[in-house]
Amino acid sequence: MKRMRQRGFTLIEVMAAIVLIAIVLPVVMRGISLATLVGELARRKAEAAVLAHSKLNEIVVTNLWQSGALSGDFGPDHPEYRWTGELTNWDRSTLKQLDVHITWGPGDQKHSVTMTTLLETQEN
């Protein structure tokens, strides 16, 4: 009768596998963490772009750009976002450039999105 030999991993093979896992696992976890952060930033930029577009349309339709009150927030719906508007002359024509800047984030990690349009002014 033949003797069956039991096969298994040697201690060296097990230790080598553990060392390999110890090297690779932190790198993989860092990659997952980075991908999550980038995804969150992309989501926030898309949301800020929608808010900028909405605020730009509101400013133009209500002629708010003529009164000069060009800053604020979005209230309880979007408390982390703030907006500012900037009106500048564009070229030497009667056109003005209106920029709406949306900012969010803590202190030194501020992010922003800017949306721009041109407005025709009636100069006498």
Phi-psi region of 98 (alpha: psi -120 to 50; beta: other; left: phi over 0): beta
For residue 78, is it within any domain?
yes
The predicted pLDDT at position 107 comes to 78
Q: How high is the mean pLDDT of the chain?
A: 90
Contact 102, 110 (CB under 8 A): no
pTM: 0.75
Residue 2 belongs to a domain: no
How many structural domains are present in the chain?
Answer: 1
**Residue 39 has what pLDDT?**
96
Distances (CA, A) of 2 to 5, 33, 42: 9, 54, 65
Q: Would you state the pLDDT for residue 9?
A: 85
Q: Does a structural domain hold residue 41?
A: yes
* Res. 3 pLDDT band, cuts 50 70 90: low
Residue 54, domain extent: 11-120
Taking only the tens place, the pLDDT of each residue in 24-83 is 999 999 999 999 999 999 999 999 999 999 999 999 999 888 887 789 999 999 999 999
Indicate whether 1 belongs to any domain.
no
- Does the residue 3 lie in any domain? no
Q: Is residue 83 part of a domain?
A: yes
Which of the four pLDDT bands, split at 50, 70 and 90, describes residue 124? very low
Question: Which has more confidence, 17 or 1?
Answer: 17
59: exposed, middle or buried (Cβ count in 10 Å: 0-12, 13-18, 19+): buried
44, 110 contact by CB (below 8 A): no
pLDDT average, residue stretch 7-17: 90
Tell me, yes or no, whether 64 lies in a domain: yes
Domain presence at residue 6: no
